[in-house]
Structure 1
Amino acid sequence: MPRKPSNIIYSADETPPLGTQLVLGVQHATLALLFIVYPLVAATEAGLSFDDTQIFITSCIIFMGIATLVECLPRYGSGLLLVQIPNMAHLPLAVQSLAAGGPALYAGMSLIAAVSQLTLSRFIGALRAVFPPEVCGVAVTMLGVALADPALRRVFGITGEITPDLDLRYAMVSVVTLVIIIVLAIFSRGLLRLFAVAIGAGAGWALAVYVGVAPQPAESFATLAYIDLPRLGFPGLSFFSWALIPAAIITGIISAVDMLGTVVSMQRMDDADWRRADLGQAGRAIRANTIADMGTAVTGGFASASSSAAIGVAFATGTTAWRVGAISGILMVLAAFSPRLIGLLTIIPSSVIGAILVYAAAFLIVAGMELILSRRLSDRRIFTVGLAILAGLAVAILPELVHITPEWMQPILESPLSVATAVAIILNLIFRIGIRQEASRDVTVEENPFTVATEFLENQGDLWGARRDVVAIAIPVVAEGVEMLLDTGVAPGKLEMRAHFDEENFDVSLIYDGEPIAIPTHRPSPEDLLGDAQAVARFVGYMLSKRADKLVLGTDGTHQKLTLRFEH
């Protein structure tokens, strides 16, 4: 079982009180439903009728809830608190598809995107070398950066071009909301911390009403039914748009990378001793999402993906329990039966949403940096991370660069997340050229074992991107093993120190000419230190076996081999 971090009240597998689960589930479901603005924008841009727009949104909400429920269940999904929202990466594809061929064409392109995600998830376990922590860290950091634009636009009430006459009432509402959330998340305990986001959002909404920046409900709001059967459609499937097929495939890949980033963020938040991404868990989450997206496609809805904003809410409340996510999924499905409730969610002040997004963006940026710095950084890795983030920022800062590219490429390049992650993956693969997974160095009896072990293992740790704490643990253990073999004369004159690294283990083998040693299964007596060289070697070997994760004795040709394994 992973060790729970000190700032987490209820971890993934723990069961909060039922009342707490319900309130937190409502909190997550409400935030997720606020993002129906994305399918609304797509429907408006494409000129869909009122009936088609209802179907478009209702299908999206139902399958958002189903995907959330399945993703959160340990057996069928990831067992993590992953909450779905409408997939912003699908917005360009939806607008173009709906305009070119209506709901049938978008349904076909959405199905292609889902198949792309599903295909990638089948091979995700074999892609561990493609997604080391620094690449995952870039993805998580850029998730936060990608949230910055929609967050800050909502904070300042910007709907179009920025003008000098900004209405500072929007910023005031956002600041008050954000301050309440942060104060409760940091300085409070118990229920106040658990419901920090809900309390902050409620206070912000009340302030927005008071200062006059809360949106007013449309005249048709009063005619909406409290309870009604959801309307789903069957628009058919059209695949006859060769220009959009590449965009659909790339959209699916972007969605998978986005999902990977949210899964890694939740894994990191829930485990104080987190070492590497559990790609099997990520694959299950992606598969659950793609199945829901296929259902959305055939019923005429908008695709969904895991919410990075929900990660910020989980951090603020100190709760990552999957049961909270499952309840939020059920509530989203039930919300589809209440047109009046959905209408109410559309009038929550955008400045309140902006404050929540700012909180989530800040957490994701720092979490990504922490992931990047969890490994030793060589020059190769420094340039991988730096150039990838700069590429993503270039897209965010200079969107004009995207507009001069071919039209079919623009949906791909408009996302800072997809650009930065793609550049990080490519540079990581290029910079791996010339790095051997095994290296060795001879050590003589005249050299200082600790100095040699430090220089050799730190240098190789930098090249391989090994975890800092693993290398720090390995150095004194290896140095002690070298000293024992050379000083006792078991290894006469010199030995070879050979290091091997993969994402699972950091192994250091000491290879020498001489007699084999036996590692006792029971603790030797202190008197053994007064015996011959073999007795001393057995005593030290026993101590080494307790300090390394595994000690293996063997041979390398005609030489003796003592291997110290450190789990990575």
Structure 2
Amino acid sequence: MPEKHRSRAGTRLLGLPGVDRVLKMLLPPPDRGMRVERRPPSLVYGLDDVVPAGALIPLAAQHAMLAVTFLIYPVLAATEARLPADQTSSMLSACAMSIGIATIIQCLRTRIGSGYLAVHIPAPGAIPLAVQALSLGGIGLMAMTTLLIGISQLFIARLVRPLRALLPPEVCGVAVSMLGVSLASPALRRALGLDHGALVEENATLASLATVGIIVAITVFAPRRLKLFAVFAGASIGWIVALLLGAGHPGAQEAIAAAPVIAWPALTLPSFQFAPALFPLMALLVVMNLVDVLSVTVSLEKMNDADWRRAHMPAAQRAVTTCGIGNILNGLTSGFQSGLSSSSVGLAFATQSTARIIGVVAGIMIFAIAFLPKAIVALTLIPSPVIGGILMYTAAYLVVAGMDLVTSRRLSERRVFVVGLSVLAGLSIALLPLTRQLPLVLQPLFSTPLTVGALSAIVLNLLFRIGIAQEAGATVPDGAHAFPFARDFLENQGDEWGARRDVIAAAIPTVAQALELVADSGIAEGPIELRARFDETHLDVSVVYDGEVMEAPKERPSPEALLGDAREQASFAAYMLTHLSDHVSFGRAGGRARILLRFDH
């Protein structure tokens, strides 16, 4: 049963008018025109599946554990700004509460949540802004900047849907690949022990190899059910190896022992003060978050749909909205700016489990950890090489997933340069020390390959679209064979427009049959023209001619019609056309008869 029908049925079963009204307000409206998604056969637990408790708790715990380890980002910002220990602890607890609530909202399928397994974490790109805000006005000013960013995200979410034309699959593919490249640097630094110095640490490398080796071995060779716990097993064994080799955090036991087991978070309201010098940096962070959200949601959509075609912008809009709500909560409680976790995407891929209930339970766990200071301290002290091994696996998956998106379309010369130059721009940030040579206010925008590569792809895609005709036509020569003519015409235009390979392949035989129908039935009085129009969402192909308008029967003709006269045979062929394309219409345009075939893109 489709999801929207299950939701409505569940609402009716409650039988309570007040509850019915609340659920109708929360449940998202049906996405009109959305095709039915085909579940990938490799998924163990799909988006709407019920996950048994024996698998649900470990799967959710893996996501929660990975998310809480990123509390190291606010710790780094607080350390850099010399924030007192009590305020640092308060910030961590507030952040855990906020990202837990935001994760729950994000994973639930409501009017404000994307409905995907998307986990919120502290945003690493927010470290420069947090350091400056803490230095200028303390934790109150940092909370105020986070609150303003959250409010801005609520407004920017309204602009997501019109961006579909700017975000074809090759642009999304560059963003996803650069997301993996962005994780490669911190992954390798942690894995090789370079975060403590310039020399590779053998013990750190061995612990990291143990972590990623166990994850890959279980993912590739283990039975399907054991793959669910690949990351958990890799992290556990890697942690043990790190402790045995002395690659753990020094003084970890003392730090854990000093923290209380249970404590109420000490929350701080934002101070109503503004620092105009921080506004440009705040605007850049809003843009960075938008690119990051689109990259993560596209990855999750593709993971849940074997026939993924393009970004589903309503879901992306809801994801941005929830990010805004999460940052408003962070601002009101003196937490740290948050965003979506690309690492959780890799974890979902490793376990082949994308059920939204996993994210909901993970959000509950993250929220509960805010009341357990000892657990927060313990999770932030996971050995750095272990985190590096997990990030290496995630980065590898994202790079390949982005390449798959890029190659899903026919690459013309224009798109080759869009992809190639954007990848080079992103890699330049990873390979060359360019960021330090820029003004301080622009450094966050050029701090990661993701932001540079994704924004370059968007700009180049707009630039190279100049001069591309979105409509094309050709006259069918006398005596030309329908199939070769339709194939050459559509493949040439598909290369020019960058249409999906499978859509062009499906359109060729259908268009050829329409040409044969008009030519063999004798209804065309003069030359036949083939026209095509492409707008990123549809491929419309028209067979235009002078003559009688063809009509398709409403009911299926009998097979004996194929043995009848030419008109009966044409009627049968016209009926078949209605089942070979997403939409077909017979009529007139500009005084000429036309058969219009539409193929969803």
TM over 0.5, shorter chain: yes
Q: Look up the SS of the partner of 2:444 in the other structure.
A: helix
Q: Which of these residues, 537, 556, 571, is aligned with residue 504 of structure 1?
A: 537
Q: Distance in 1 between matches of 2:40 and 2:507?
A: 25
Q: Write the letter of the residue equivalent to 2:46.
A: S
The whole-number CA distance in structure 2 between the counterparts of 1:503 and 1:456 is: 18
TM-score (norm: length of structure 1): 0.96
- TM-score computed with the length of structure 2 as normaliser: 0.91
Correspondence for 1:347 among 350, 360, 381: 381
Deviation (angstroms), 1:530: 4.1
Tell me whether 177-186 or 60-69 shows the greater mean CA deviation.
Answer: 177-186
**Of the candidates 46, 61, 66, which is equivalent to residue 26 of structure 1?**
61
Q: How does 1:120-519 map to 2 (within 5 A)?
A: 120-163=156-199, 166-216=200-250, 217=252, 219-240=254-275, 242-399=276-433, 401-519=434-552
3-state SS of the aligned residue for 1:21?
Answer: helix
Is the Cα contact below 8 Å between 2:547 and 2:593 reproduced in 1?
yes
| Alpha-carbon shift at residue 103 of structure 1 (Å) | 1.9
Secondary structure of the residue aligned to 2:593 is: strand
Moved over 4 A (4+): none
How far apart are 1:127 and its partner, in Å?
Answer: 1.1
Give the whole-Å Cα distance in 2 for the aligned partners of 1:156 and 1:112: 38
1:66 aligned residue (93, 101, 107): 101
State the Cα distance separating 1:161 from its structure 2 match. 4.8
- 2:280 partner letter: P
Larger deviation, residues 402-411 vs 134-143: 402-411
Q: What amino acid is aligned across from residue 393 of structure 1 in structure 2?
A: L
What's the CA shift string for 1:402-458, capped at 9, x where partnerless? 222222111211121111111111111111112222211111332222222112111
Q: SS in structure 2 opposite 1:129?
A: helix
Distance 1:455 1:93 in 2: 54
> How far apart are 1:190 and its partner, in Å?
4.3
Contact between 2:552 and 2:575, CA under 8 Å: does it hold in 1? yes
Percentage of matched positions with identical amino acids: 46
Deviates most, 245-254 or 208-217: 208-217
User: Which residue of structure 1 aligns with residue 135 of structure 2?
Assistant: 99
Residue 523 of structure 1 and its aligned partner are, at CA, apart by: 2.8
Write the distance in 1 (CA, Å) between the matches of 2:263 and 2:138: 26
**Which amino acid is 1:80 matched to?**
Y
Bigger mean CA deviation after superposition, 530-539 or 129-138: 530-539
Over aligned residues, Cα RMSD in angstroms?
1.5
**In the alignment, is the contact (CA less than 8 A) between 1:444 and 1:493 conserved in 2?**
no
Query: Aligned AA for 1:167?
Result: E
Letter in 1 for 2:504: V
**5+ residue gaps, structure 1:** none
Q: Is 1:563 paired with 2:599?
A: no
Instruction: State the shift of 1:73 in Å.
Output: 0.3
Does the CA-based 8 Å contact 2:255-2:377 persist in structure 1? no
> Mean Cα displacement is larger for which, 321-330 or 483-492?
483-492
Cα shift readout 1:190-224 (whole Å, capped 9, x = no counterpart):
44111111111111111112222122415343222
Structure 1 residues 249-258 or 543-552, which shifts more?
Answer: 543-552
Residue 82 of structure 2 corresponds to 47
Q: How far 1:470 sits from its partner (Å)?
A: 0.5
Alignment deviations for residues 78-101 of structure 1 (CA, whole Å, 9 cap, x no partner):
111011111011111111222222
Q: Secondary structure in 1 aligned to 2:331?
A: helix
Q: Could you tell me which residue of structure 2 aligns to residue 8 of structure 1?
A: 43
Cα distance in 1, alignment partners of residues 566 and 256 from structure 2 = 88
CA distance in 2, matches of 1:458, 1:14: 40
CA 504–235 in structure 1, closer or farther in 2 if over 3 Å, else same:
closer
Q: Distance in 1 between matches of 2:245 and 2:164?
A: 52
- Which residue identity does 2:307 align to in structure 1? D
CA contact 1:68–1:84 (8 Å) conserved in 2: yes
**Take 2:270 and 2:452, find their aligned partners in 1: how far apart are those partners?**
32
Q: Find the aligned partners of 1:162 and 1:463 in 2 and give their Cα distance.
A: 48
How far does the alpha carbon of each residue in 1:37-78 deviate from its partner, in whole angstroms, 9 at most, with x for none? Answer: 100000000110111111211111110101100000012411
Separation (CA, whole Å) in 1 of partners of 2:569 and 2:224: 55
Q: Which range moved further: 530-539 or 86-95?
A: 530-539
Deviations 1:14-45 (A, max 9, x none): 11102211111111100100111100000000
The answer to whether the Cα contact below 8 Å between 1:445 and 1:486 also exists between their aligned partners in 2 is: no
Q: How far is the alpha carbon of 1:3 from its aligned partner? A: 1.6
Structure 2 counterparts to residues 518-557 of structure 1, below 5 A: 518-557=551-590
Q: Say whether the 8 Å CA contact 1:553–1:562 is kept in structure 2.
A: yes
8 A contact 1:87–1:305 mirrored in 2: yes
Give the conservation status (yes or no) of the 8 Å contact 1:550–1:565.
yes
Q: Tell me which residue corresponds to 1:112.
A: 148
CA distance in 1, matches of 2:225, 2:569: 59
Return the letter of the residue paired with 1:454.
R
